[in-house]
Structure 1
């Protein structure tokens, strides 16, 4: 018999965070989170997303053993401002037992019904900067710190419970050497001259900080038309600034500004921390922090995390400026492989941006939805 228990204390939340460590034990492709970071994500006193969202956490038990987990999330900005009556769910993991996944999903559905929501969708996080989608292809490729990994049977569970595909995301990679400067060197010069633009490069994190709020404003502006987008609030900007910007190599953050020093485009690339996180196995101490610092300094793989271009400058070749700068940075750092974060299948503009680099789609993931009666 399956029993579902709500997490109501720190011990329960720690069990919630640690469940995948047993589910994916010895899996060479799963990338564990840092337990402390994951706990902070779920802490209402630390994560500002809870100013506009709520979440409840559930564990499934069978014979007194944890066999599944789910986070049931309502983003009230999405519900009230966008009119999307959506019940979100994420951090959804389970053993290969249909009764377990069914019981967890029924719990999410009941919360959605209590709040008069129309449908449920997952797996998703609180916002667009969280992890998204269940992996449906690419199980033999190592995960990243900004995506979920899952067993192949997950897809069967969603479909067995009457869920249908909502959105599909592609993950692509290409060799850094494919970013041939001949493709954009000339364009880079012409576009800068035509639009009176210049690039900004950085060597210190503190020099980036004055630009970060403008960067998030531009992020909100760039992605506003995508169906899944929920804007980043001012309080969240501060949180992400403190949590992430100082840990990303400053030379991996590129800005493009106009003649008035207004931000036109930005890109953030991160070194791949996947193997370092596997070595850390959830803990920063005693050696986890060392492994992460080594990856920050020496990783030959990088992840294109975010790119934003002001709408009036989209499709005008601004990426030539960004890629030209990255080419020189990557060459200096000895970067070999470029990996892209999940991109919506419907986002044709982003696919056009990468077409010259011979990208290979190595993973696909989906969110699934179901109507709430």
Structure 2
């Protein structure tokens, strides 16, 4: 018999976090998270996202063995301020048994009904910077530290329950050898001169941290018109600094500023930590952090983490300045491949940015929706 229980103590939480390690133990493509970071995601004292959100975690059990997990999330800022009557679900993993996925999804619906919400959507996290969507193609390609992975049967389970695709995302990659470097060097000079702009390069993490809040403000401004976008607040900015920015090589962060020294565009690239995280298998210590340090210094693949452009500057070609700066930095380091994080397929403006890079589609993913009766 299968039953579902709510996570109620530290042991349950650890079991919840460790279940994917068992489910994907034979997968060459799943990238494990750091266990301590996953546990901290659900700690109100450590994760500022929980100031505006509430979460319930559930575990499906059969014969004293965990066979599925799900997080039920209400982002109250989204519900009350944006008037979006949605309940989210995430951290949704399960064995290939339709009864398991059905019982877990019913917990989302029950919580939605209690709170008079109209529909469920997921998988997603607390904010737009969390992992999003189930993989719908590209199952035989290794993931990244900032994307989720799942087996191909997940899609069948979602559709069997009656969920339908809500938002679609694609992931693309490109080779630096395919880029016309002369074109971007020329365009960078023209755009800088015409619009009185300049690039900002960093040599230390401390320099970056001084301007990170400005960068996140621009991120909010850049994406505020996208569907389902929830702005990052001050506490979340601090959280993101500690969780991600400190790990990024300072030379992999580029800004463009105007003559008033205001940031009008930015981009962040991260070394690929995927294989390092696979070697670590969730543990930073005693030696796991050494794998991260090696990847940070020597990896020849990178992942585009974030890009943001002030709407007033989006048609002025400022991306040429960013790309030219990155091309010089990355070629000097021998970087060969850049992978883009999931982007909404309806975000046409971002897609146009990459048209000259000969991008190759490698993965697709979707969030799914279900109306609550």
TM bin (shorter chain): over 0.9
Name the CA distance, whole Å, in 2 between partners of 1:4 and 1:35.
Answer: 23
**Cα deviation digits, residues 239-276 of structure 1 (max 9, x gap):** 11122212110000000000010010000000000000
Name the CA distance, whole Å, in 2 between partners of 1:16 and 1:208.
Answer: 35
Q: CA deviation at 1:2?
A: 1.4
> What is the aligned partner in structure 2 of residue 263 from structure 1?
263
Q: CA deviation at 1:311?
A: 0.5
Total equivalences in the alignment: 373
Name the CA distance, whole Å, in 1 between partners of 2:290 and 2:106.
Answer: 42
Name the CA distance, whole Å, in 1 between partners of 2:208 and 2:347.
Answer: 28
> What is the aligned partner in structure 2 of residue 130 from structure 1?
130
Structure 1 length-normalised TM: 0.99
Aligned pair 1:276/2:276, yes or no? yes
> What is the aligned partner in structure 1 of residue 102 from structure 2?
102
> What is the aligned partner in structure 2 of residue 307 from structure 1?
307
Name the CA distance, whole Å, in 1 between partners of 2:179 and 2:212.
Answer: 27
**Cα deviation digits, residues 304-335 of structure 1 (max 9, x gap):** 00000000001221100000000011111110
Q: CA deviation at 1:22?
A: 0.6
Name the CA distance, whole Å, in 1 between partners of 2:305 and 2:177.
Answer: 19
> What is the aligned partner in structure 1 of residue 81 from structure 2?
81
Q: Which blocks of at least 5 consecutive residues in structure 1 are unaligned?
A: none
Task: Quote the RMSD (CA, aligned, Å).
Answer: 0.7
Secondary structure of the 1:261 match is coil
Q: CA deviation at 1:179?
A: 2.4
Secondary structure of the 2:211 match is helix
Secondary structure of the 2:212 match is helix
Name the CA distance, whole Å, in 1 between partners of 2:28 and 2:238.
Answer: 35
Name the CA distance, whole Å, in 2 between partners of 1:34 and 1:370.
Answer: 31
Q: CA deviation at 1:181?
A: 1.1
> What is the aligned partner in structure 2 of residue 10 from structure 1?
10
- Following TM superposition, the consecutive aligned residue runs of length 4 or more in structure 1 with deviations greater than 3 angstroms are none
Secondary structure of the 2:290 match is helix
> What is the aligned partner in structure 2 of residue 143 from structure 1?
143
Name the CA distance, whole Å, in 1 between partners of 2:240 and 2:179.
Answer: 29
Q: Which blocks of at least 5 consecutive residues in structure 2 are unaligned?
A: none
Secondary structure of the 1:121 match is strand
Name the CA distance, whole Å, in 2 between partners of 1:351 and 1:5.
Answer: 43
Structure 2 length-normalised TM: 0.99
Name the CA distance, whole Å, in 2 between partners of 1:21 and 1:342.
Answer: 23
Name the CA distance, whole Å, in 2 between partners of 1:34 and 1:210.
Answer: 27
Secondary structure of the 1:260 match is coil
> What is the aligned partner in structure 1 of residue 189 from structure 2?
189
Aligned pair 1:47/2:34, yes or no? no
> What is the aligned partner in structure 2 of residue 357 from structure 1?
357
Secondary structure of the 1:316 match is coil
Within 5 Å, which residues of 2 pair with 1:141-290? 141-290=141-290
Secondary structure of the 2:228 match is coil
**Cα deviation digits, residues 114-136 of structure 1 (max 9, x gap):** 00000000000000000000001
